[in-house]
Structure 1
């Protein structure tokens, strides 16, 4: 059973199975002296567990939640809702048995939703997690969450010319200027620039030594690549998005010619390697210069990787460019699910 199905079952049970009262949705005693605003609004729709999470958090901190409604919402309703509370990320939308969504909201947005007449429940999304899965989820509300940025496929002597940048940065205002993301930017003077983020996992994340796992990525990229034409190729369609995993840390090294290359096999541009899949490109639907979120996942083609003898492996996401210009992108959300492969 996949996570979407589990979410639907749990959400249906919460709304229609008579278990809402069991979640202690009346004002929790622990919040009586907290800094959670408007705590006395009745009925209180935020679960006790979520209340504990947001208590003491800043208004801009982001939480993964499930929100249920007492009516079905269409596209126009969601647009109106975003005008009221601000833009937010929806991973799943439920519009059959129940109405609602699973997504990411700031504390401020959660408190605003609590006032909404057609909201029936706001709860943590983590209750639907299958314990057998190892889920690594980052929303970058406070820090980089262990993700490290890197660049390869460019000459060392021209490093400054490439204007390589990696940081935690507020998203563009047209996306959400209260939310942060991993920011990467670089000029592709070599016609082959690779920009990537990586994260190490080990036994602290419940990985086992010398064990095979299937790895699925689910993430968004904020891209402004709307033009169809550019030097060397399109700034969107010629910048290829790749995902991968390896028990060797992905590290750029300098070859004999003074060129930075990767020590793992990621392939070249749209060509795949044994350590990486190509799952799309940066092209967005509109042709303006504004940023928009583009979702990516490899759920139909999980990546298989084996941990080393210490139970370690590295995850990475990157863009392999054939566009001879500047590419600047943001990763506001990365979710990776690992399942042990039984042989």
Structure 2
């Protein structure tokens, strides 16, 4: 058995979410999270919030993150990861993160990423939401974390500020749907071309997806599906 084929089989066994065509040494490796019900509905994704002051109280700050049935306008028999956030005093970054292991340590991979984000905001929505909330997603060899820095719970990766993406952001864009009604619709956000990523020395990559918001009121989103596809270089 070749080394590359062994790696693919090991990934499949270890992650439980990987799929490959065993007939080809050039087969793609796929991580596919759809957040369905049950004890593993989170698919290994963990929520986090960043940007708020350590002194923020419940009158200023509200955060909720949990698996929930999708809302009306979508398939209400299916589940997604629901994120609610409100921070009345400044910027809030609300995100999910996931560790994937089994890569070749320090190995390089060609990757494409797709995130299905469910939102009921449109270009006709209150401009405060559409203009002040930006979707962002990325991949890093380092774990995305919220750390207390000078009295603020800050995000440790370079996500950029507001609509401006940082160096650790792969996908960035509007949270507005092209549909004009107020029902929820799924937005497909995906990389237009493959990018090269490098695993850390433990053979890991970390993914994150979230919303970077300067909006001072409540926003609610559902992550419906997140798919990453890799090919070892």
Higher relative contact order (CA 8 A, sep 6+): 2
Residue of structure 1 in register with 2:31 after alignment: 136
CA contact (8 A) 2:120 2:182 kept: yes
User: Which one has the largest radius of gyration?
Assistant: 1
The count of residues paired between Structure 1 and Structure 2 equals: 210
Match of 1:151 among 35, 38, 49: 49
Q: How does 1:127-206 map to 2 (within 5 A)?
A: 132-142=27-37, 143-160=41-58, 161-203=60-102
Cα RMSD (Å): 2.3
Does 1:248 pair with 2:142? yes
Q: How far apart, in 1, do the equivalents of 2:91 and 2:140 lie?
A: 22
Cα distance change of structure 1 residues 306 and 178 upon mapping to structure 2, 3 Å threshold: same
SS at structure 2 position matched to 1:272: coil
The equivalent residue for 1:326 is 218
CA distance in structure 2 between the aligned counterparts of 1:220 and 1:297, rounded to whole angstroms: 9
Distance in 2 (alpha carbons) for counterparts of 1:279 and 1:180: 24
- Quote how far apart the aligned CAs of 1:229 are: 6.1
Stretches of 4+ aligned residues off by more than 3 angstroms: 125-131, 227-230
Question: What is the TM-score normalised by the length of structure 2?
Answer: 0.81
Q: 1:213 aligns with which of 99, 104, 109?
A: 109
Matched position secondary structure for 2:55: helix
Deviation at 1:190, TM superposition (A): 3.5
- State the 1:260 CA deviation: 1.1
**Pairwise CA distance, 1:299:** 3.1
CA distance in 2, matches of 1:289, 1:129: 46
2:158 counterpart residue number: 265
Distance in 1 (alpha carbons) for counterparts of 2:152 and 2:67: 27
Q: Structure 1 residue 214: deviation in Å?
A: 2.8
Select the structure that is richer in strand: 2
Give 1:172 deviation, angstroms: 0.3
Q: How far did residue 275 of structure 1 move?
A: 1.1
Give the aligned partner of residue 282 of structure 1: 175
Unaligned 5+ residue runs, structure 2?
Answer: 1-18
Against the structure 1 CA distance between its residues 175 and 126, is the aligned structure 2 distance closer, same or farther, given a 3 Å change threshold? farther
1:286 is displaced (CA, Å) by 3.1
CA distance in 1 between partners of 2:145 and 2:57 (Å): 16
2:56 counterpart SS class: helix
Whose helix fraction is larger, Structure 1's or Structure 2's?
1
Report the TM-score when normalising by structure 1.
0.57
- The match for 1:295 among 188, 192, 195 is 188
Q: Unaligned 5+ residue runs, structure 1? A: 1-124
Take 2:188 and 2:172, find their aligned partners in 1: how far apart are those partners?
A: 11
8 Å contact from structure 2 (residues 105, 202) kept in 1 = yes
